[in-house]
Amino acid sequence: MTAPPKKGTTETPSELLAKTDIDAILEGRHWDPFAVLGPHAEGDRYVTRCFLPGAVEVTAETLSGRQIGTLTQVHPAGIFAGEVSLRKLQPVRYRARNEGGEWVVTDPYSFGPVLGPMDDYYIREGSHLRLFDKMGAHPMTLEGVDGFHFAVWAPNARRVSVVGNFNEWDGRRNPMRLRRDTGIWEIFLPGIAEGHAYKFEIVGAQGEVLPLKADPFARRSELRPANASMTTGPIEQVWEDEAHLAHWAAADARRQPISIYEVHAGSWQRHDDGSFLTWDELADRLIPYCVDMGFTHIEFLPISEYPFDPSWGYQTTGLYSPTARFGEPEGFARFVNGCHKVGIGVILDWVPAHFPTDAHGLGHFDGTALYEHADPRQGFHPDWNTAIYNFGRAEVLSYLINNALYWAEKFHLDGLRVDAVASMLYLDYSRKHGEWVPNEYGGNENLEAVRFLQSMNAHVYAGHPGILTIAEESTSWPKVSAPVHDGGLGFGFKWNMGFMHDTLQYLSREPVHRKFHHNDMTFGLLYAFTENFVLPLSHDEVVHGKGSLIAKMTGDDWQKFANLRAYYGFMWGYPGKKLLFMGQEFAQWQEWSEARSLDWNLLEYPLHEGMRRLVRDLNGTYRRKAALHARDCEGDGFEWLIADDRDNSVFAWLRKAPGEKPIAVVTNFTPVYRENYAVPLPAEGRWREILNTDAEIYGGSGKGNGGAVEARRQATGRIAATITLPPLATLMLELDA
């Protein structure tokens, strides 16, 4: 029942606001609130209406404070309406009163739209490259009023409201304006400041109220287990990385030394009580450590917001939001800036392949399969129980491509390692016959995903020429790291999963059996230059019962350490960029767990400290010696010296680069100490032993060549050096010209 008109007015409630509108507002099913609420011109007069729960009396004012009318309560739940003295439509505010006092509310329904027709055009076309500045929640000043603009894509919804702690999570209070051409809902809420939790309340096409949804474009989130989005301003960071960015923008990354330290930010180190380090604390500890260790890049497992710690971030619910686990987004920006100041790049593990089905996430966002495919044969991932993005939808592609651009622009990221690319490329990935839908030509290639990856890489490299994109792709898909204009996917690099699998399989065998599996170590050179490869010893190899790298090695403890040292020397001398997961640089025994810190106490023991020193020296040698990195991706930088000595399990090759002294890499993968072993070399003279993994400082036996060997021309005309091969060791020899 409505209240009677206030004394002095001749209008009835139905003349001020129809009962159908009143009921729709109170029941949260008014699909076009801007048509009713706020000021409107009606003939030669102006009328305004508002919904202010708890108010008993309301007067209307201009933004300058001039009173323009007393409103009539047309429903005791807090609906008011009345004629106001205005000369033109303009923003208004309301002074509301009840027994508890007085408060002022600026009417969001008195403001026009913020997005414009060009936004609509580019969004519809799928070519909008600044969505992260338009969608989500952004602070702004509109017509002299400070507040936040909210925008969200939900084309099949009947109503979308912003709800939060500023409106008691009441979806009836701030329903949004629908832009029908794009399916985007928007509203400007005056008076909203930074630090408010919010979500979207969405009513589906059939009138059903969906679970509250976090903002897909949120730039900050609550700390789990809470999962609301947070209002936040732009990143305020004074960047001091011009020299770093300029270097990589001008460089050919294929010919640069790249040695990546893969890090899970939540378990590299922790406080004594088990709590996470903040970004600033990580900067104080991790950056100096990586500088000392000689790594060129830090690659983080996904740090975009995710609900479940054991997912390691690979099931993300907030692609635009750095997780709240380590502090505010500005903290991550400070971390990146600190890295760049000392020449270290930052790579983010990025997950555009799939997303979790948590109720507050993207799944059935507006009551329909919006971000995902409706057909589970295309839209559901059986391995991870996740939803697969619909790469054939322009809005979804724009969402993902903009996200890649967002991290590069706002956080100055140096690279994106794209997770699970193989699962994107094949329609039948992990599916049996009949469980997948062929493409238009009857094949199993996901042509829409191919176009997405090509477009993403093209846009990222065009806008940020110094960036690296790296594909985790485990099949023989051709031209992953070839340019798009050459028919490739456009990535800068590809993980060499074959190298990782074959070499670890070889090293898990007793040395006496290795001669029967010699090809495990030589086969990779048949394809080593078909792509721009990164050699990964990643987190995937030290979890789920696989054991740590040191635990995979055979033999007693001394042999395990010697095997791993020889392997690292082999890998750092092998063509390709390097990646090592945290903890493996000091041979952590335990399998990695995201729930605890690395076992840093192991560095008190000589064998573990020796391993750390070796990795540091390998990085330093790799970076200083252009022969070891300048032709990592090109066949003319590699030459076999010994490829077929399977009986002794010895491998030797030459690394070279134009104008640089060549370096010979020789590995003995048996525990047999060999003297007077002949190694062919390309030039006579003294070859310095620049690295020996068996050196005592690394925990080895100290066998070697006294610092140098002499290469001489033999009677056959061949040039060779007679050298000592330490047991289970790798040597690097450089021509001392």
Same domain flag for 621 and 696? yes
pLDDT over 90 at 12, yes or no:
no
Looking at the structure, tell me whether residues 51 and 167 fall in a common domain.
no
Domain assignment present for residue 216? The answer is yes
Residues 83 and 126 in one domain: no
- Do the beta carbons of residue 187 and residue 108 sit within 8 Å? yes
CB 294 within 8 A of CB 259: yes
Residues 567 and 715 in one domain: yes
Give the DSSP H/E element, type plus range, for residue 463. helix 447-463
User: Which of 16-25, 66-75, 88-97 is predicted with the least confidence, judged by mean pLDDT?
Assistant: 16-25
Among the candidates 197, 231, 265, a domain finishes at 231
| Residue 85 sits in the same domain as residue 132 | no
Which pLDDT does position 545 carry in this prediction?
87
80 and 191 share one domain: no
Is 218 within a domain?
Answer: yes
Q: How many domains does the chain have?
A: 3
Residues 522 and 577 in one domain: yes
Verify that 126 and 206 share a domain, yes or no.
Answer: yes
Residue percentage of the chain with pLDDT more than 70: 98
Residue 38 lies in a domain: yes
Which pLDDT score, from 0 to 100, does residue 17 have? Answer: 85
Residue 382 lies in a domain: no
H or E element that contains 307 = none
Catalytic residue among 419, 448, 617, 694: 419
The DSSP annotation for 19-72 comes to HHHHHHHHTT--S-GGGTSEEEEETTEEEEEEE-TT-SEEEEEETT--EEEEPE
pLDDT in tens, 188-247: 999 999 999 999 999 999 999 999 999 999 999 999 999 999 999 999 999 999 999 999
Q: 397 pLDDT exceeds 80?
A: yes
Examine the fold and report which residue of 106, 125, 142 is the final residue of a domain before the chain moves on. 106
Which of 186, 201, 472, 660 is an active site residue? 472
Of the residues 43, 75, 106, the one at which a domain ends: 106
**What pLDDT is attached to residue 44?**
87
Q: Do both 86 and 25 map to the same domain? A: yes
Residues 577 and 715 in one domain: yes
Q: Is residue 580 part of a domain?
A: yes
For the cut 90, the answer to whether the pLDDT of residue 523 exceeds it is: yes
Indicate the Cα dihedral angle 35, 40, 41, 43, nearest 10°. Answer: 60
Cβ atoms of 652 and 672 within 8 Å: the answer is no
Same domain, 96 and 133: no
What is the spatial distance between Cα 266 and Cα 279, in angstroms, rounded to a whole number? 10
Please check the confidence at residue 10 and state whether its pLDDT lies above 50. no
In a domain, 70, yes or no: yes
Task: Evaluate whether residue 728 is within a structural domain.
Answer: yes
Residues 162 and 218 in one domain: yes
Is the pLDDT at 691 greater than 80? The verdict is: yes
Tell me, yes or no, if 414 is annotated catalytic.
no
Checking if the pLDDT of 13 tops 80, the result is no
Q: Do 235 and 334 contact (CB within 8 A), yes or no?
A: no
400 in Cβ contact with 419 (< 8 Å): no
List the CATH number of the domain containing 526.
2.60.40.1180
Average pLDDT over residues 531-544: 95
Q: Quick one: pLDDT at residue 51?
A: 96
Q: How many helices (H) and strands (E) does the chain have?
A: 16, 36
Domain that holds residue 197: 117-231
Tell me what the pLDDT averaged over the chain comes to: 95
Task: Give residue 8's pLDDT band: very low, low, confident or very high (50, 70, 90).
Answer: very low
The answer to whether 584 and 549 have CB atoms below 8 angstroms apart is yes
**Is the four-CA dihedral 691, 697, 699, 702 of positive or negative sign?**
positive
Which residue would you say has higher pLDDT here, 219 or 30? 219
pLDDT at 14: 55
Q: Are strands 685-692 and 650-655 parallel, antiparallel or unpaired?
A: unpaired
- Residue 54 falls within a domain, yes or no? yes
- The pLDDT value given to residue 301: 98
**Residue 388 pLDDT > 80:** yes
In the annotation, is 419 catalytic? yes
CATH number at residue 97: 2.60.40.10
- In tens, the pLDDT along 596-614 reads 999 999 999 999 999 999 9
